[in-house]
Amino acid sequence: MIKNNKNSANLLKMKRVGITVFLAVCATACSKMEPSPGLVNTLELGTVRGAHYERVITHFHTPYSFDACDSKGIGADGSVNLSCLHDIKTALCTNHINLTFTTDHVNFMAQTDFEKLLLLEDGDTAVLNATSDRVANQLNCSDGFHAVMSPGLEGKMLALGMEKHIAGTVSDREAIYGGEGTTEKNTLESAIAGGGANALVAIPHTESRDLSLLQTLSPAAIEIYNLHANLDPKIRKASLGLKPFEHIAKFMNYLLDPFNTQNADYLFVEFFQLSEVYFQKWNALLAGGMHVTGVAAHDSHENIFPQKASDGERIDQHRRMTRMFSNLVLTSSSSIDSIKTSIRDGKVYFVVEGFGSPINLDFHGTINSTIVEMGSSIDLTGGGTSSLSFSVPKVISSFPGMDSGDEPLIYSELHFINTTGVESVVKRVMNEVLTYNEPPAGNYRIHSFIVPLHLKKLVLKRSYAEKIYPWIISNPIKVIR
């Protein structure tokens, strides 16, 4: 017994020494990992026939959503959670987000004066419309970049870029903002300020909406990816046909990281995946003759994973979420109205910029040597020659964190959606220009994939950098014969 007690005492002493050594090592080797640098300014992405790219977020929650900021966005006295708000502003500046359409839930958005929804603070600049109404907030970032926040809402529909509340009482607003019928949609579209700039109405969470409803509403845009849906166990099981908790255990690698060696900005490779549910519905709308733009949704709330990763930031921090992917909108002007028009017109690429930002992205068609831009139609009812072309972009060389010793592999496919909504691949190339001559009638879309060999030193396992992932999805060009 004495011997056992002695051994136990020695073992306890060894454990204490081990813990002391571990803590001493961590004092130097386990220092907090610095977050990855932000996404490059879109000015570095090149221009296309006089147009340029704007990085746009179409679904995003501020403290004025009841469930944002761990459901603590607004205090009992009506004050805004400044810590959460500043996380948003830091994220938009760091990742050079040109325009964010904030989309707050009906509760608290409908009850809040529109001026407060701008979230203006000292150092910000109010954006004015044609009649000098304050309609958005320009953040003046420390590096000289300007990020704009434009208020809107998420009910059963999204209203992007509202310039004021609709007329009527708070109860009137709640009924219209929370509805999903054609009456509510038409009212949302007429929620205008001076200058006649309509709110852009889109459908969120397409994964859970009936196709018949989408056909009835005929929205300007629908979501073809939603980050919240990709993560939420209930939505994964009920609407996406995915295993509900498949990805949760993988998050532990970034939480149980005593030596702070895992870069949580690349956590998305553990769970990111596209679902055919979105594309089946989108294809059916296109085949039915509708012009519907596909956009990707961050749906970021800061209300899922408050636990901190090795960089000291919470897992679901807005900066990390907005670094993962973007809507790159091709536009001739940086104004909110011009960007809305480009989204309506289908001049939008969904790009997973966590793998790298693309230079000189360009999908277009031709008819008798005349350029037809993405989102438009090639009308061959009068005859003529035609083609479709995609210039495979390069990953920008200054992309933060890239290992310059390895170049990514890029595969690009031209997808054809026929008149019944069936999708097929009609051409595939690797690291070269894709050209397809005399396309039959139907809709055509680019799907580009990447093997991110350049990130092998940044992801958790080298094998992750050797897998193929979706990188770019274009909006369609329609061919009419």
pLDDT score of 374 = 98
pTM: 0.92
Residue 150 token pair: 């434009």
pLDDT score of 193 = 45
Q: Tens digit of pLDDT for each residue in 269-315?
A: 999 999 999 999 999 999 999 999 999 999 999 998 899 998 889 99
pLDDT score of 378 = 98
pLDDT score of 188 = 83
Q: Tens digit of pLDDT for each residue in 359-371?
A: 999 999 999 999 9
pLDDT score of 202 = 96
348: β partners:
329
pLDDT score of 195 = 42
Q: Tens digit of pLDDT for each residue in 224-270?
A: 999 999 999 999 999 998 899 888 888 888 888 877 888 999 999 99
Cβ-contact 408, 450 below 8 angstroms = yes
Q: Where are the beta strands (DSSP E) in 268-336?
A: 293-297, 326-331
Angle at 225 between CA 304 and CA 116, to 5 degrees: 60
State the residue for tokens 């230079």: 359
SS3 state of residue 437: strand
Q: Are strands 153-154 and 125-128 parallel, antiparallel or unpaired?
A: unpaired
Domains and CATH numbers, the chain: 47-351 (3.20.20.140), 358-481 (2.60.40)
Q: Tens digit of pLDDT for each residue in 405-454?
A: 789 999 999 999 999 999 999 999 998 899 999 999 999 999 999 999 99
pLDDT score of 26 = 44
Q: Is residue 11's pLDDT more than 70?
A: no
Angle at 307 between CA 301 and CA 311, to 5 degrees: 100
State the residue for tokens 């495979």: 392
d(CA 158, CA 204): 6
Q: What is the mean pLDDT of the chain?
A: 90
Q: Give the N- to C-terminal CA distance of the chain in Å, as an integer.
A: 94
pLDDT score of 402 = 65
Q: Is residue 65's pLDDT more than 50?
A: yes
Chain centroid to Cα 146, Å, comes to 19
Residue 242, CB half-sphere, CA atoms under 13 Å: how many? 23
d(CA 271, CA 250): 8
pLDDT score of 160 = 95
d(CA 88, CA 326): 16
**48-52, 214-218, 242-246, 449-453: least confident range:** 242-246
Q: Are strands 200-203 and 377-379 parallel, antiparallel or unpaired?
A: unpaired
Q: Tens digit of pLDDT for each residue in 116-162?
A: 999 999 999 999 988 899 999 999 999 999 999 999 999 999 999 99
Size (the chain), residues:
481
Supply the DSSP string of 184-213, one letter for each residue: HHHHHHT---TT--PPEEEES-GGGS-HHH
Helix, strand, coil percentages, rounded to 5, for the chain: 30, 25, 40
Q: What are phi and psi of 282, to 5 degrees?
A: -60, -45
**Is the dihedral angle over the CA atoms 455, 456, 459, 464 positive or is it negative?**
positive
Q: What are phi and psi of 405, to 5 degrees?
A: -75, -15
pLDDT score of 105 = 98
Q: Is residue 395's pLDDT more than 60?
A: yes
Q: Tens digit of pLDDT for each residue in 398-409?
A: 666 666 578 999
Q: What percent of the chain has pLDDT over 70?
A: 90
Residue 322 Cα distances to 73, 90, 250, 353, angstroms: 19, 11, 20, 9
pLDDT score of 31 = 57
pLDDT score of 22 = 39
Q: Is residue 223's pLDDT more than 90?
A: yes
Q: How many CB atoms lie within 10 A of CB 142?
A: 9
